[in-house]
Chain A
C-alpha cells in the first residue's frame, strides 16, 4: 500500500472508480427476466391534487393498463371509446409508416439524416392525445407523433426533411427539426434539453396571464443529465408551473446506456422526488398507460396542482438515427427480448379483444397508410430533394437573423449574391 505524504498509513482498500457497463453487448443473449413488472391493477391512481410526497411510490413502480393478453384493467384505465382507440392506433401506425419511408429516403440519398421513433410511438402519440389542442408541446427530436396527432400536413414534414422549396424553414434546419406554432409544436433545437426550461417559461407565462394552456416537454433519459433539465425542474417547482415533463427512457443514448445518466441507481421518475413534484413511472409501450398518466398530469397542471415528471419506460427498437449502427454496441435481439412488447401490436390486440378490430382491418389500414405516405412522398419530391439543386433563394440565408437586416448582413448578403452570380449567372432562380 502506498502512503500518501502527510497522511497516516491505513489498511483501507484503495478507492475504486465505477464505470457503468450495460448488461449485454453484441454477441450476448439478452434476458430481461428480472425487470419487475407489477400487475396492471397493482399501481394505485391517486387523485390529481395529491401532494407529491404522498405518492412517491409511483416514481418507483410502473403505471400499466394493458396486460399482455390485451385486456385493459386497473385504476388507470382511461376507458377510451373504440373510435378513440382506433384513432390512436392509426396515428401510431402512421408514425411508423412515415418513419420507415423517410428512413429509406435517407438510405436512397434523398436527404442527409433521419430519426425513427420505432417502439416509442406511444410516448408521443398517446400523450399528445391526452392533452388539449391548445397546449404547447416542446419536443425533442423523436416526437414526430405530436405533429401526426395534430394533423400537421405530412407533406410539410417531408418538405422539411428534404429541405426542398416547400420547406417552411427555408432549408435552415437539420431534417426532422420541425417548427409548427399553429399546431402547438415548438421549434426543435439541436442542443439537447434546452427546450426543458423553455417549456417551463411558456407554462409560467400562461399562468401569469391567467390563461389555461399548459406546456408539455420531452427529452430522452440521456439528456436528463443536462443542466437544463435540472434548471427546468427547479423553476417548475418554485413557481408551480403548469407543465408536464416527459422523460423517454428508451435505455440508450446513442451508444451510452441509461447508466451514464444515472439510471443504475434509481429511476428517472424519482428525480421528481428531490424537487417535490409529482412523478410517475409508466410502461411507455402501453399506449393506454401513457394516455392515462398524461391525462392525470394535465388535469393536475390545469387545476393549479403543479408540474409532473413522467418517465416513459420503453426501448429504442432501432438505431439512434440514420448515422448510427446499434449492432456495434448492443446485443442484436435486445429489442425483441424487451418484455413490454410493441405498442402498436399491443393496442391492436386490445381492440381485437374488445371485438373492435381484426387482422384484416389491421392489414388494410397498414396498406392505406403506406399508400398515403408513398403518395405524399411523391408530391414532396416534386418540390425537390436535398442535394439536387438549391431550392431557396440565396438571400433567405440572411433573413431572420434579426427582425430587420443590419448593414453588415446586407453587405455580406451582397457579397454572397455576387459570388453566386459569378457561379450561376445573373438569372439564376431556385429549382
Chain B
C-alpha cells in the first residue's frame, strides 16, 4: 500500500470496528477526498458515517467537538493543513480544553487528519507545516507518520485515543518516499518495505519514536518527509548517523532522543517548517537540558526559512540536500 491507501485502510478498519466513528470533511464523501484518502469509505460504510461538509473549518471542528461530546468518535479531515487556522479556535479553546475545563465531564475523542508540508507546488497556502503551533496547544496530541506502515498503525491509535489528536500527513510522500532531489523520479512505495501494510487492525502506540537507521557519529531527529530526505543525504555522504523518526511530537519520545544523543554526542534536527519558534527549537532545548555534558558539538537545526512558502522558489525554501549536507559537515567537524 502507499500512504494514502494505508490511511484509507486505517479508517476503513476502524469504521468497521467502531460504529461510533464518523468521517467528515470537504469532498470526503462521494468523491473520496481531493487526495483520495477517503475513497470508497462512504459507499462501504454509508452516508451518515462518511459525509461531505460545508467549506467551513470552524464548523467542521466545532461540530466534531459536539459529536465527541455525544459519544461519537469523529475523524474530521481538513483539506490542507493551511486551512486548520479558520478552525483553530475550536481546536485550541474547545477540543483541547474540554476534558480539563469540565474535569473529565466531557471529552473530545477526535482525530483531525490533514495533509501538510510542501514540495508539491502548492504555493504559500497549500504547503505549510503547522506542527509547532499544534504542540504549543495544551491538550492536543500531534502525530506525523513517515511511511505507510506507520501511517496506518498510528492513525488507528489516534482514532482510538480519547484525546484530540492532530494527525499531520506529509503529502509529499503520499505516493513514495521523497529523496530530497526534486529533479529525480520518486520511487513508488511498492519498492519500500514499509509498503507491506497488513489489511487488518494493528496499532502503533503514540509517543514512541522509531530508529530508522542506527549509527554512532551523530543523532538526527526528523519526522515526516524529512526522514527520507535525511536518509538519502546520509547514505550519499556515507555518514554513520543514527536517524530517529519521532512519529509523535506530542507526547514526545524523550527517552529515545536522550539515549541516542548520549551515545553519539551530536545532534542535528531537521524539519521543513520555518525556523523561528519551530519544533526544532523545542527539541534543541530538550537535548541541551538533558544531554549537555555528552555533547561534543552545538546542536544544529536544518529547517525551512522564515518566509511564507514561495510557489516557484519552493526548492530554494526546502531544507534539501545542500542545506543538510552543509550542516552535517559542520556538526561532524566541531
Q: Are B62 and A403 in contact (CB-based, < 8 A)?
A: no
A179 and chain B: residue at smallest CB distance: B102
* Chain B positions 147 through 163: 1 when the CB is less than 8 Å from some CB of chain A, otherwise 0: 00000000000000111
B93: chain A residues within 8 A (beta carbon):
189-191, 194
B284 CB, min distance to chain A CBs, angstroms: 16
Contacts A202-B69, A228-B90, A408-B252 given; does A169 touch B54 at CB 8 Å: no
A180: chain B residues within 8 A (beta carbon):
105
A203 vs B72: C-alpha distance when bound (angstroms): 12
Q: Are A235 and B63 in contact (CB-based, < 8 A)?
A: yes
Q: List 7 A-B contacts (CB under 8 A).
A: A172-B103, A179-B103, A186-B106, A208-B22, A228-B90, A234-B56, A400-B104
Q: Are A406 and B66 in contact (CB-based, < 8 A)?
A: no
Q: Which of B66, B90, B161, B163 contacts A204 (CB 8 A)?
A: B66
Q: Are B99 and A201 in contact (CB-based, < 8 A)?
A: no
A424: chain B residues within 8 A (beta carbon):
none
A402 vs B107: C-alpha distance when bound (angstroms): 10
Q: Are A205 and B72 in contact (CB-based, < 8 A)?
A: yes
- Counting CB contacts under 8 A, is A215 at the interface? yes
A406 vs B56: C-alpha distance when bound (angstroms): 32
Q: In B81-134, which residues have CB < 8 Å from any A CB? A: 86, 89-90, 93-94, 97-107
Q: Are A408 and B62 in contact (CB-based, < 8 A)?
A: no
- Counting CB contacts under 8 A, is B65 at the interface? yes
B71: chain A residues within 8 A (beta carbon):
205
- Counting CB contacts under 8 A, is A322 at the interface? no
Q: Are B22 and A235 in contact (CB-based, < 8 A)?
A: no
A177 vs B106: C-alpha distance when bound (angstroms): 14
A180 vs B103: C-alpha distance when bound (angstroms): 10
Chain B, interface residues (CB within 8 Å), range = 35 or more
A416 vs B68: C-alpha distance when bound (angstroms): 32
A200 vs B86: C-alpha distance when bound (angstroms): 18
- Counting CB contacts under 8 A, is B281 at the interface? no
Q: Are B100 and A200 in contact (CB-based, < 8 A)?
A: no
B128 CB, min distance to chain A CBs, angstroms: 21
A181 and chain B: residue at smallest CB distance: B105
Q: In B20-76, which residues have CB < 8 Å from any A CB? A: 22, 48, 53-54, 56, 58-59, 61-72, 74
Q: Are B66 and A203 in contact (CB-based, < 8 A)?
A: yes
- Counting CB contacts under 8 A, is A38 at the interface? no
B62: chain A residues within 8 A (beta carbon):
194, 196-198, 200-201, 228, 231-232
A73 vs B154: C-alpha distance when bound (angstroms): 62
A234 vs B61: C-alpha distance when bound (angstroms): 14
B251: chain A residues within 8 A (beta carbon):
402, 406-408
Q: Are A232 and B59 in contact (CB-based, < 8 A)?
A: yes
B177: chain A residues within 8 A (beta carbon):
none
Q: In A262-312, which residues have CB < 8 Å from any B CB? A: none
Q: Which of B48, B53, B70, B161 contacts A235 (CB 8 A)?
A: B53
A231: chain B residues within 8 A (beta carbon):
54, 56, 58-59, 62
Q: Are B66 and A187 in contact (CB-based, < 8 A)?
A: no
Closest 8 CB pairs of A and B: A201-B66, A197-B62, A231-B59, A201-B63, A205-B70, A406-B251, A198-B66, A187-B102
With A179-B102, A194-B94, A235-B63 already in contact, 4 other A-B pairs whose C-beta atoms are closer than 8 Å: A179-B103, A234-B59, A401-B139, A403-B99
A-B pair count, CB < 8 Å, reads: 141
B66: chain A residues within 8 A (beta carbon):
138, 197-205, 215
A186 vs B102: C-alpha distance when bound (angstroms): 9
- Counting CB contacts under 8 A, is B316 at the interface? no
A188 and chain B: residue at smallest CB distance: B101
A186: chain B residues within 8 A (beta carbon):
69, 106
Q: Are A197 and B54 in contact (CB-based, < 8 A)?
A: no
- Counting CB contacts under 8 A, is A227 at the interface? yes
A402 and chain B: residue at smallest CB distance: B163
A179: chain B residues within 8 A (beta carbon):
101-103, 105-106
B108 and chain A: residue at smallest CB distance: A198
- Counting CB contacts under 8 A, is B11 at the interface? no
A215: chain B residues within 8 A (beta carbon):
66
- Counting CB contacts under 8 A, is A335 at the interface? no
Contacts A208-B48, A232-B62 given; does A202 touch B99 at CB 8 Å: no
A42 CB, min distance to chain B CBs, angstroms: 37
A190: chain B residues within 8 A (beta carbon):
93
Q: Which of A177, A191, A204, A401 contacts B99 (CB 8 A)?
A: A401
B98: chain A residues within 8 A (beta carbon):
187
* Chain A positions 370 through 406: 1 when the CB is less than 8 Å from some CB of chain B, otherwise 0: 0000000000000000000000000000001111001
Q: Are B162 and A403 in contact (CB-based, < 8 A)?
A: yes
Q: Are A194 and B89 in contact (CB-based, < 8 A)?
A: yes
- Counting CB contacts under 8 A, is B297 at the interface? no
- Counting chain B CB atoms within 10 Å of each CB, the highest count among A190, A200, A204, A238 belongs to A204
A201: chain B residues within 8 A (beta carbon):
62-70, 74
- Counting CB contacts under 8 A, is B254 at the interface? yes
B110 and chain A: residue at smallest CB distance: A201
- Counting CB contacts under 8 A, is B250 at the interface? yes
A237 CB, min distance to chain B CBs, angstroms: 9
Q: Are B106 and A187 in contact (CB-based, < 8 A)?
A: yes
A254 vs B207: C-alpha distance when bound (angstroms): 45
- Counting CB contacts under 8 A, is B138 at the interface? yes
A403 and chain B: residue at smallest CB distance: B162
